Amino acid sequence: MSLVAGSYERFIWGFTLKSQSQSLTLTPLFSYPSHLSLIKSVAISGSVVASGGADDTIHLYNLSASSSLGSLHHHSATVTSLSFYTPPELLFPRNLVSADAEGTVCLYDADGFVHLKTLPSVHRKAVNDLAIHPSGKLALTVGRDECLAMVNLVRGRRSFCCRLDKEASLVKYDSDGGKFFLAMEEKVSVHEAEDARLLLEFECQKRVLCAAYAKNGLLYTGGEDRNITAWDINSGKVAYSIEEAHATRVKGIVVLTDNDGSAGGEDPYLVTSASSDGVIRVWDVRMAATEKPNPLSECKTQSRLTCLAGSTLKFRKPEAGKSKAKEQDQTVED
């Protein structure tokens, strides 16, 4: 299991979570002052990591080798959101999608990170977040212009845009793409993906800053209330909550599930959280229903963390002399 975190101090942090003597250890792998200014977003798929910063660049890393893979310079504003698309049958991402503070979205082929297309003016103002549908054919974006947009990743163009009641800071899909979630200040709404119909609304105590969906039907949220709250998306009620999970606001949540299917269908129970005080913690949420849990492991980075991403995909190196482009079809057409 791997984790990456970005910080105000320009550093990206890499971690591995290992089981040792019936305990979990969060071990730092690397830390790089990779950007010229603060890091706004991170994404991970297998051994590939991307970070986006206020210096208008995307940096790429090989997590298994703890090395840099170079950088991408197709944005002219702060890179606010990043997301990999990795088909279920593959262990290496097929595409990278990025968005910036000018409302632009860029599409890349992950084989060599070739720039495929730039979509200007997807939003009139900054893109706050983006989410790729599990099919890899479309993505949702939300921006500071108080709009929700849909991007057709096959044709490389915006296909839909509508105005929201207020600005949304987060958008997420569930595991099968049948529903999506929007966070607006302290409120989270659940929508049908097919027609955007409102299904449920959750009222949080304070502003929501991060969210993560788990395959067992729970949506985890964190933010200025310093708690980690698990919402049942079928009933709209709180399943359980880890009160005061951090001393300051929660900036990132990752649900660690076994994506290769070897978990035997069990519910995910490991949740990782990061706070702006620089602390990353790993929780066993099975304990939250009966008592206040203590973190299984934690690491203090001594920096102000801004974002967190994680992956349980196993590292796989491509066969010598064989291009990944021959192993997989390209999602985005020029």
Q: For residue 163, what is the domain's CATH number? A: 2.130.10.10
Does residue 332 sit within a domain? Answer: no
**333 located within any domain:** no
Q: Is the pLDDT of residue 53 over 60?
A: yes
Whether residue 264 is predicted with pLDDT greater than 50 in this model: the reply is no
pLDDT at 34 over 60: yes
In a domain, 178, yes or no: yes
**Mean pLDDT of the 97-106 span:** 98
CB atoms within 10 A of CB 205: 13
- Is the model's pLDDT at 303 over the cut of 80? yes
Give residue-wise pLDDT tens across range 272-300.
999 999 999 999 888 886 777 889 889 99
- Please give the residue that has the higher pLDDT: either 212 or 319: 212
Q: Please give the Cα distance from 223 to 81 (Å, whole number).
A: 18
Neighbours of 199 (CB within 10 A): 13
pLDDT tens digits for range 231-263: 999 888 999 999 999 999 999 999 986 544 333
CA angle centred on 26, ends 275 and 51, rounded to 5° = 55
Does residue 82 form part of some domain? yes
pLDDT of residue 47: 87
Q: Can you give the pTM of this predicted structure?
A: 0.88
Range picked from 24-38, 82-96, 167-181 for highest mean pLDDT: 167-181
Contacts for 320 with CB less than 8 Å, ≥ 6 apart: none
123 lies in some domain: yes
Is pLDDT above 70 for 313? Answer: no
Say what the pLDDT of residue 92 is: 86
Q: What percent of the chain has pLDDT over 90?
A: 69
Domain range for 23 is 2-327
Q: Which of 71-80, 124-133, 281-290 has the lowest mean pLDDT?
A: 281-290
For residues 18 and 11, what is the distance between their CA atoms, to the nearest angstrom? 23
Which has the minimum average pLDDT: 19-23, 145-149, 242-246? Answer: 19-23
Counting the structural domains of the chain, the total is 1
Asked whether residue 333 carries a pLDDT value surpassing 60, the answer given is: no
Averaged confidence pLDDT in the chain: 87
What percent of the chain has pLDDT above 70?
88
Determine, yes or no, domain membership for 108. yes
Q: For residue 288, what pLDDT is reported? A: 81
Q: Which of 10-14, 117-121, 320-324 bottoms out in mean pLDDT, i.e. has the lowest?
A: 320-324
Q: What is the model's pLDDT at position 169? A: 97
Give domain status of residue 265, yes or no.
Answer: yes
The pLDDT tens digits for 190-229 are 999 999 999 999 999 899 999 999 988 899 999 999 999 9
Query: Is residue 317 predicted with pLDDT exceeding 60?
Result: no
- The answer to whether residue 334 sits within a structural domain is no
